[in-house]
Structure 1
Amino acid sequence: MKLRKVSAAAATALVLALTATACGGDDSSGNESGSDSGSSEKITIGIKFDQPGIGQKTADGDYAGFDVDVATYVAKELGYDENQIEWREAKSADRETMLERGDVDFIAASYSINDEREKKVDFAGPYLLAHQDILIRADDNSITKPEDLNEKNLCSVAGSTSAQNVKDKIAPKANLQTYGGYSECLTGLENEAVDALTTDDSILAGYAAQEQFKGKFKLAGFKMSNENYGIGVKEGSDLKAKINSALEKMVSDNSWDEAVKANFGPANYKNEPAPKIGNIVK
């Protein structure tokens, strides 16, 4: 009887050990299969939450914008449905750190490719060529070239370098007005407290396309810089090649054009053609 009890206890312990090992193996496999294989249950993507037309978390908790459409298409090509995407806010100052730590699988967040960033992360793309431009009132005919910003009230968002670049290099007599965010600049522009707002033309088009601003503003079309938007991945990740293939397919099946029209069309955004993968315009 005693021997039987010991055997039963040992058998029970063995079953429990095997069960725990199996569970632990499943968890480990799920985590390690992760970002590069497309076989895990979800994919985590970094986007902007506060840029209408680019990347925005809406009042009802949905996500919308050109970057969201691009990222969703890419995720699908990697084997993920929309309900398998976990969106994370990727603020400009946090993007490299998020990728280096593995907080996200990739980032599509008006992320301009430049030499400094390429030292820390890899980029797929580019998938959009944007330019620094200005937004003015639709009935304003006094600003027809960048130099006309001299003596004008130019809106600058706190922490942005765009307006300072204009003042330093193009219109030194421009009067910078600092606001907390782009929405405040748009209100100031609408109320004639400021004469112009400057940042990437894609971002300006996204704001101008909002329902409450339709028909009130226009892009000047100055193209004061080249901003090559890329999808950031962790350095050395094999996702780069897979994402590039997805972007090429998005262009070839016209999904890219449809996304541009849906997100920027109301602002009459004259976008550049879809860039070729690896072609960085300086």
Structure 2
Amino acid sequence: MKLRKVTAASAAVLALSLAATACGGNDDDSSSSGSGGGGKVKVGIKYDQPGLGLKKPDGSFAGFDVDVATYVAKELGYKPDQIEFVETKSADRENALARGDVKYIVATYSITDERKQKVDFAGPYLLAHQDLLVKKDSKISKGTDLNGKNLCSVTGSTSAQNVQKTIAPKANLKQVSSYSECIAGLQSGAVDAVTTDDSILAGFASQDQYKGKFKLAGLKLSNENYGIGVKKGDTATVDKINKALEKMVSDGSWQKAVDANFGPADYNNEPAPKIGQLVK
């Protein structure tokens, strides 16, 4: 009889425990869901690229990639206060997606065959080209004009080597740790030109302290198809982002973002690319 009483009491405790569990809420913030609701979405961007992805001193974010990322999040069902921007450096982009640190990445992320082995891409959403940034009164317009000139790029970049290999083998290459250093060198006269993607160069040139001082040479030394990186196999999110990008172009928001972020540098941007069509 005593055994039955203990068993009954245990059953009652178990029932109460199960009921409490059923009534309790789920603490998951749904940061990797794609449905908005009460959760958040984590988006990878650059923090140090003016005109593209920049974290400002007040903690806010600005740039073309930020505008694209925000528009896409809205179409996925998220409000502005549900977006959490995460700094995603170039070397860690694939790992950040694989780990689930972010839902998608909008960070001057060129679509390449090698990268497509590790991640899926929506887009492209911008076609950029390798170019040169020079002073406004510079006569540099062709790569051969760089022979004997000081050319700046960041350490490890393939852009400067590409210039030396293809059009200006006698250019004096100066490699520094950041493009900000290159731009400062261009302003002071320490270097004659800076090379990387034209979108990145236009972003730097659009900063208030540089407006009207620099220009793009207009060379098209490579084709860079910027895509939005998504975890490998997440085709549902890729499809949703592609639809969002198509809408951004059709309603005029894409061109508005280009003008706002690159306009001061007189950036002669390519038309919005077609989804799934890469320019080789």
Map 1:22-41; keep pairs closer than 5 Å.
22-23=23-24, 26-27=26-27, 31=30, 34-39=32-37, 41=39
Alpha carbons 2:44, 2:107 under 8 Å: kept: yes
Partner of 2:177: 180
1:17-76 Cα distance to aligned partner (Å, 9 max, x none): 32135437x346x65x93344446111100001000000111110011000000000000
Matched, 1:80 2:78: yes
Cα distance per residue 1:234-268 (max 9 Å; x no partner): 11111000000000000000000100011001111
Alignment of 1:1-282 (within 5 A): 11-23=12-24, 26-27=26-27, 31=30, 34-39=32-37, 41-141=39-139, 143-237=140-234, 238-282=236-280
Note the C-alpha offset of 1:13: 4.6
Once residues 114 and 39 of structure 1 are traced to their aligned partners in structure 2, the CA distance between those partners, rounded to angstroms, is 34
Call closer, same or farther: CA 1:255–1:5 in 2, change over 3 Å.
same
CA distance in 2, matches of 1:34, 1:71: 15
Q: Give the Cα–Cα distance (whole angstroms) in 1 for the partners of residues 82 and 47 of structure 2.
A: 18
Distance in 2, matches of 1:103 and 1:147, equals: 44
Find the aligned partners of 2:278 and 2:6 in 1 and give their Cα distance: 73
1:105-146 deviations in whole A, cap 9, x for unaligned?
Answer: 0000000001100111110000000000000001111x1211
In 1, the alpha carbon distance for the partners of 2:69 and 2:10 equals: 53
1:5 to partner: Cα distance: 9.6
What is the CA–CA distance in structure 2 between the aligned matches of 1:275 and 1:209, rounded to whole Å?
23
* Residue 218 of structure 1: how far off its partner (Å): 0.4
Name the count of aligned residue pairs: 277
Asked whether the 8 Å contact 1:34–1:40 carries over to 2, the reply is no
Does the 8 Å contact 2:128/2:225 carry over to 1? yes
CA–CA separation in structure 2 for the residues paired with 1:40 and 1:110: 29
1: CA distance between counterparts of 2:32 and 2:155? 37
Secondary structure of 1:46 counterpart: strand
- Which deviates the most, 167-176 or 68-77? 167-176
Q: Is the 8 A contact 2:35 2:78 kept in 1?
A: no
Q: Is the 8 A contact 2:41 2:84 kept in 1?
A: yes
Identical-pair percentage: 64
Unaligned runs of 5+ in 2: none
Q: Is the 8 A contact 2:153 2:160 kept in 1?
A: yes
Length-normalised TM-score, structure 2: 0.93
Counterparts of 1:34 and 1:110, CA distance in 2? 22
Report how far residue 180 of structure 1 moved.
1.6
Q: Distance in 1 between matches of 2:273 and 2:102?
A: 25
Deviations 1:196-223 (A, max 9, x none): 0000000000000000111110000001
Query: C-alpha distance in 1, partners of 2:256/2:153?
Result: 31
What SS is found at the alignment partner of 1:194? coil
What letter is aligned with 2:147? N
Contact kept in structure 1, 2:105 and 2:228, CA below 8 Å: yes
* CA distance in 1: counterparts of 2:6 and 2:92, whole angstroms: 59
C-alpha distance 242-16 of structure 1, shift in aligned 2 (>3 A): same
For normalisation by structure 1, the TM-score amounts to 0.92
- Answer with 154-163 or 75-84: which moved more: 154-163
Write the letter of the residue equivalent to 1:18.
A
* Alpha-carbon contact 2:34-2:41 (below 8 Å) kept: no
Q: Which amino acid aligns with 1:203?
A: I
